[in-house]
């Protein structure tokens, strides 16, 4: 890390780029992933990240990574107070981009219970609606993923080689597509999983064919269908959720004998984990493709 050396360097030297991490309501998974990225021995100086650094306040900074969703009045306040101190704001992870898993809490019945249950004094209050970071401040770069892999953090901080992510998770996955056409959806606990064959050919509701690549497909390689945590691939970013659903349905039509109606019902089931990671706020304004890593 550069703190020691930069403190000693003379004032004419080119300043080391600085970065900071602001954590809103989330799980720290993004920060844990960042700790595995190759940023600590080198080019950037960390100036604020309460998880690993005791510092009073967030100073002016080159790059501000914001993780977590705007969930409480405290989140809103801290984001508004700090974002303008950064030259570049990067929204990191599914929660910051679309609310993530906690967005389930916006389902009305859950929210009722929720509001009734949070009557403790002197504590941050939950906002009526959970919001992504760009609903509050302007965002220069989006880094989707739950969490983004360490490699994606390196790319966001512009370290090392230029980064060209695969278009889709499918391209990262490497499982073999076969002529098997399953006629019903498989459940996670229902059958043994073939380690080589495409999960759709095995009846799993995998949406890797239209989910953004670049993660290296760790889930599908490990035998779990893609739940879309990286969001839509470039072809779908600026289109409606209906068009995205239609594309997924076409893939299943081609590769399985499962009815369109069943796929449609599953895709729209709010309890399904892929809904958690992606579709909850998909009604929001589309993001500029150039800004999504």
Partner 1 sequence: MTTLTIPLSRIEGHARVVINLAGERVLSAHFQATELRGFEHFVQGAPAEQMPIIVPRICGVCSTAHHLAAVKALENLAGVTVPPKAVCIRELMMLGQVIQNQATSLFLFTMPDLPGQAGVPSLFHLGEVHSKIAPRALAVRRAGTQLITLAGGQFIHPVRAVVGGVSGGIAPRAAAEMRASLNQALTRASFLVDAYWDLFEGLHDRIGTLGDDSPTYYLAAIDRGHAYYGDRLRVMAPDGSVQAAFPPCDYAEHLTDVPIEGSYSDGTLYQGELVRANSLARLNIDPHPTTPMARAYTERFWQEWGYPAHAILLFDVARGIELVYAIERAIELLEQDLDGDDLWVGCTLRDGQGCGLIEAPRGPLIHHYEVQGGLVTSARFVIPTQHNMLAIERALLVAARRYVSSAGISLELERAVGRVVRAFDPCIACATH
Residues that bind partner 1 (CB under 8 A): 1, 3-4, 23, 25-33, 35-36, 40-41, 46, 50-55, 71-72, 74, 100-102, 104-105, 107, 109-110, 113-114, 117-118, 120-124, 126, 146-147, 187-193, 195, 218-219, 221-224, 227, 269-273, 276
CA distances from 188 to 51, 192, 206 (A): 35, 9, 12
Residues in contact with 199: Cβ distance below 8 Å, sequence separation at least 6, in sequence order: 175, 193, 206, 208, 220, 223, 225, 226
* Pick 54 or 138: Cβ nearer partner 1: 54
- The dihedral of CA 194, 257, 255, 249: what is its sign? negative
Could you give the CA distance from residue 147 to residue 109 in angstroms, rounded to a whole number?
Answer: 28
* Pick 118 or 240: Cβ nearer partner 1: 118
Q: Which two tokens stand for residue 231?
A: 């969001």
* Pick 147 or 232: Cβ nearer partner 1: 147
Helical packing angle, 260-267 and 241-255, nearest 10°: 140
* Pick 40 or 260: Cβ nearer partner 1: 40
Shortest distance in whole angstroms from residue 162 CB to partner 1: 24
Shortest distance in whole angstroms from residue 146 CB to partner 1: 7
Shortest distance in whole angstroms from residue 95 CB to partner 1: 9
Shortest distance in whole angstroms from residue 150 CB to partner 1: 9
* Pick 42 or 238: Cβ nearer partner 1: 42
**Would you give the DSSP letter of residue 103?**
G
Tokens 């993780």 found at: 67
Shortest distance in whole angstroms from residue 54 CB to partner 1: 4
Residues in contact with 192: Cβ distance below 8 Å, sequence separation at least 6, in sequence order: none
């Amino acid at each position: 890390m550069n703190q020691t050396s930069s403190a000693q360097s003379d004032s004419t030297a080119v300043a080391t780029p600085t970065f900071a991490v602001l954590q809103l309501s989330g799980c720290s998974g993004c920060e844990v992933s960042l700790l595995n990225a190759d940023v600590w021995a080198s080019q950037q100086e960390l100036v604020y990240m309460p998880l690993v650094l005791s510092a009073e306040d967030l100073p002016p900074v080159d790059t501000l990574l914001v993780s977590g969703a705007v969930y409480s009045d405290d989140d809103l306040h801290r984001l508004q107070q700090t974002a303008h101190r950064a030259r570049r704001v990067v929204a990191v992870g599914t929660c910051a981009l679309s609310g993530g898993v906690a967005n389930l809490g916006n389902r009305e019945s859950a929210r009722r219970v929720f509001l009734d249950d949070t009557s403790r004094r002197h504590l941050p209050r939950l906002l009526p609606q959970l919001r992504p970071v760009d609903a509050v401040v302007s965002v220069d770069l989006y880094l989707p993923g739950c969490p983004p892999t360490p490699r994606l953090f390196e790319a966001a901080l512009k370290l090392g080689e230029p980064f060209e992510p695969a278009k889709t998770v499918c391209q990262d996955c490497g499982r073999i597509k076969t002529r098997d056409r399953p006629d019903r959806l498989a459940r996670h606990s229902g059958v043994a999983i073939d380690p080589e064959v495409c999960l759709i050919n095995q009846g799993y509701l995998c949406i890797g064919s239209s989910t953004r690549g670049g993660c290296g497909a760790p889930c599908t390689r490990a035998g779990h269908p893609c739940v879309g945590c990286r969001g839509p691939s470039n072809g779908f970013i600026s289109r409606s959720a209906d068009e995205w659903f239609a594309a997924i349905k076409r893939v299943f039509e081609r590769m399985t004998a499962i009815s369109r109606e069943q796929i449609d019902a599953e895709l729209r089931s709010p309890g399904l984990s892929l809904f958690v990671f992606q579709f909850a706020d998909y009604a929001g304004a589309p993001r500029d493709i150039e800004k999504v890593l």
